[in-house]
Amino acid sequence: MALKPARLQWSDDGALASLDYGDIYFQRGQGLEESRYVFMERNELPARFRAIENESFHIAELGFGSGLNFLLTAQLFAQAAPPSARLVYAAIEKHPVRREDLERIYSHFVLPDTDKLLAQYPPLMEGFHHLHFYGGRIRLMLLLGDVAEILPEVRGAFDAWYLDGFSPAKNPAMWQEKLFPLMAERTRPGGTVATFSAAGHVRRGLESAGYTVEKAKGYGVKRDMTIARWTGSKPSPAAKKTIAVLGAGLAGCAAAYALRRRGHNVVLIDRSGIAAETSGNPIGILYPKLTVDPSPLGQFHSHAFCFARQLVEKLKLPSWRNCGVIRLDLDADDAGRTRALLAQNEFPPEFAAAAAYAGHSGMEQAMAGMLSPPEFCAALANDAQTLFGASVTGLRQTPKGWEVLGGGHIIASADTVIVAQGLGSRDFLQTEWLPLQSLRGQVTYLKPTVESRKLDKIVCHDGYITPAVDGLHYIGATFQKENPGAVETRAEDDAENLEKLNRHLPQLSLSAAQVAGSRAGYRATTPDKLPTVGPAPDYDAFRKNFAPLREGKKAATEAPAYIEGLYISAGFGAHGLSGAPLAGEMIAAMVSGEPLPVPHSLAEHLLPERFIFRGLKRKKI
């Protein structure tokens, strides 16, 4: 859902105030110095950054505002932290500043990386958005929404907090008592808090949550400010792991990329090579699948699309074309659904808006586009260690970690294994229970006609057609529930794709005479159409621990039993291009002990064990 942007008031000398809260963003002419003093110096960041030992440092900010705190912190981190260190900076903002207003703000300061922030700035809609700086060493998680709703959804522990909302007197909702225990639950031992506020209820709230609180000298005209510390010994740096990723399609390559950016040693294993199976279609469409009512499915696809699009832009893929997608309404019911979807969700217009095309009503998704999945996979796997041509026949857990078996022999050893083989993800004793379903699909390639050459956007109906790419349109795709077999194309599937296209867009004058080829494959999907992303559960232990669910009772234990060092990323169906990159980021955050890149409630909907719980409740297992 779209958010209400910040309403700003400017003075001639560049002072900036909020019309919504009647408070200033920073002291006039002293914004940079105030930020450095209050948040960086009082959180002792220069020394702490220099002392980082091959790990990630986590900062949470309540009140992103103009982004000055982030930009200055990123600059300090890049200058002071060792090259192997990483920064995760999570900032919550209810009323984000418009991009054009940010440009004006930045014109008053000499700041690094404002162009990079503006280039990645997301649409102003609720959710977790991800921006990357300094070659991926610094990740900004821009969490747009009300702090009371967002902070409970954040999972991870932070080393430092910036409390930088408008003053408690002007913005009491952001400083309510329940905020402080939530912060405490998400603070690492030795973590610190700094805020310009010296209000008594802020200090008392921090103290009651368990922080050791001090009043300190404020900056400039402010007499006092507050600093706090969460006592306890600092945890040992997270060890770098050797990780085997099984599968070199989109899911596996995305996981390998995210893990390697965190410094892990990764080997990518596949029997055929990069994008050899369903990730190998010449062209794929990158767009979000949206739902009328709020749902985990719609939430996942919105988050996943925004993340994947940022990643594609960052990688500068030659095949990427931000041409937009128009989804046609096929009948009156479809048109009603589109109206309801847009009215209820209030998306920013660049994300989704009403549109018309070729006599049809519909919806345009202007941020969407198309690219080559094999090129995407190759870019994600660039410079990764690979082991191709070996079929993985089993996984064996040992006291030292994992052995990856091929033909009865050990082909790789690892601390952690990521299973990302599509339908082949259920080929192991540890994962054979996964309810992955097979969907065959075929894409047809067409030579353009005079009329079809004019097509400049992707058009979706009950299939789709792309603008011509290197002299070919791509249309499709079929959906057939059938067990995997020999991957052979079928003339009747080309005919089905053409029939659907010509039923809705006959003016393009495309026929069987234009067919120039096709490609088929078997997608892996799940019963609820959401992927399985997360640690692999111990199936037998789950069934035992939660057996009372069969009788409608509460389980005696609520402690999940996971197989140590084993993770799953599979079941994306026809949406691996948009879904797999975010899933890979989630897996990497879990392995590395970093804050999750999605809301906690959404991550729970993707955990593989959800199918065990459902099976028990329905008395099917």
Is there a contact between 391 and 407 (Cβ–Cβ < 8 Å)?
Answer: yes
Contacts of the segment 485-490: beta carbons below 8 A, 24+ positions apart: 487/277, 487/520, 487/521, 487/522, 488/520, 489/442, 489/518, 489/519, 489/520, 490/442, 490/520
User: Measured on CA atoms in the order 141, 145, 146, 149, is the torsion positive or negative?
Assistant: negative
Task: Please indicate whether the domains covering 242-277+375-435+532-617 and 316-371+437-525 agree at the CATH topology level.
Answer: no
The full set of domain ranges for the chain reads 8-229, 242-277+375-435+532-617, 316-371+437-525
Residue of 434, 527, 543, 421 lying closest to 481 (CA atoms): 527
Q: In terms of residues, how long is the chain?
A: 621
Task: Please provide residue 183's backbone torsions phi and psi, each rounded to the nearest 5 degrees.
Answer: -65, -45
Is there a contact between 444 and 493 (Cβ–Cβ < 8 Å)?
Answer: yes
Predicted structure pTM score: 0.95
Would you state the pLDDT for residue 27? 61
Class of domain 316-371+437-525 as given by CATH: alpha beta
Is there a contact between 70 and 251 (Cβ–Cβ < 8 Å)?
Answer: no
Helix (H) or strand (E) holding 404: strand 401-406
- CATH fold, domain 8-229, is Rossmann fold (3.40.50)
Average confidence (pLDDT) per 10 residues, the chain, 621 residues: 83 72 71 92 97 91 94 97 96 95 88 95 96 95 96 96 82 85 95 93 94 93 91 72 97 98 96 92 96 95 97 96 97 96 94 94 97 98 93 96 94 98 96 97 97 96 96 95 88 97 95 96 96 97 91 78 96 96 98 96 98 94 90
Q: What is the pLDDT of residues 485-536, one digit of tens each?
A: 888 999 999 999 999 999 999 999 999 999 999 999 999 999 999 999 999 9
Query: What secondary structure does DSSP assign to 492-541, as a single string?
Result: HHHHHHHHHHHHH-GGG---GGGEEEEEEEEEEE-TTSPPEEEEEE-HHH
Would you state the pLDDT for residue 445? 98
- CATH fold, domain 242-277+375-435+532-617, is FAD/NAD(P)-binding domain (3.50.50)
